[in-house]
Amino acid sequence: MKLTKLLYQDNNAEGFLNELNSWQTKLFFPKKMQAMMKIDAYLMQGEVEKSKELFGELDKYRIRPGDEFYVRQKEVAFYVDLKDAKNSEKAYNRMREIYDSFKDKTSYESVMKESEFIYEININKNYHYLEEMLERAKKAQAEFSQGIYLYRAAKCYYFKGDMRLCKETLQRAQTRLKGTFYEAFIHDILDKDIKLIEEK
């Protein structure tokens, strides 16, 4: 589909939105579907205010639970990045409510768990996930996944108040995140100010 190619292959969010706003596409997709389709494009563009408006607009629609679950996943991550505790909690609680309503949770379990980690560690500063992060880092096959779990473990050490192990774990994470945004960010944390770890 042209829209899928524009956004996910060409990374052309502007072209995607222009196509989505064409009269032909508007005839094909109902307003509710158009709103859901805009989410990734706005997030890709870094459109904070438009994303906030869009998530608010989606609250007004009756959305199939399976679709809404993934909408709320994106909303949780969005508000966690903004350090917006109130809206993060609202989106997370709604996501959990939908998840609990599923009879077969198999397809949704890993996504729910990932959102739990993001929300609890970053918003609630919950360091009780430390051992789980270290264990997941051991089991992960991809280096990037190992690095992300180690980075989260470092945050747990930080919130626990163990700065020595926080720095050691950050160094381990950095070696597995070479060539990514995190490599440079971790360098700044270690080189400039350990408190920067609270920003991402």
pLDDT at position 1? 64
pLDDT at position 64? 94
pLDDT at position 32? 87
* 33: in domain: yes
Distance between CA atoms of 55 and 16, rounded to whole angstroms? Answer: 19
* 28: in domain: yes
* 122: in domain: no
pLDDT at position 135? 97
pLDDT digits (tens, 9 = 90+) for 79-97: 999 999 999 999 999 999 9
pLDDT range class, residue 16, cuts 50, 70, 90: confident
pLDDT at position 93? 98
pLDDT at position 7? 66
pLDDT at position 98? 98
Q: Which whole number is the average pLDDT over 5-24?
A: 78
What is the domain count for the chain?
A: 1
Q: Give the range of the structural domain holding residue 49, as residue numbers without chain letter.
A: 1-62
When the pLDDT of each residue in the chain is averaged and rounded to a whole number, the result is 92
* 70: in domain: no
Which carries the bigger pLDDT value, residue 2 or residue 22? Answer: 22
* 38: in domain: yes
* 145: in domain: no
pLDDT digits (tens, 9 = 90+) for 167-187: 999 999 999 999 888 999 999
Instruction: Rounding to the nearest 10 degrees, give the CA dihedral for residues 167, 171, 173, 178.
Output: 140
pLDDT at position 9? 73
Angle of helix 109-122 versus helix 143-160 axis, rounded to 10? 40
Closest CA to 189 of 160, 151, 161: 151
Which carries the bigger pLDDT value, residue 37 or residue 52? Answer: 52
Listed in sequence order, the DSSP H helices in the chain are 2-4, 13-20, 23-28, 31-45, 48-58, 65-81, 85-101, 109-122, 130-139, 143-160, 163-176, 181-191
User: Residue 71 pLDDT more than 90?
Assistant: yes
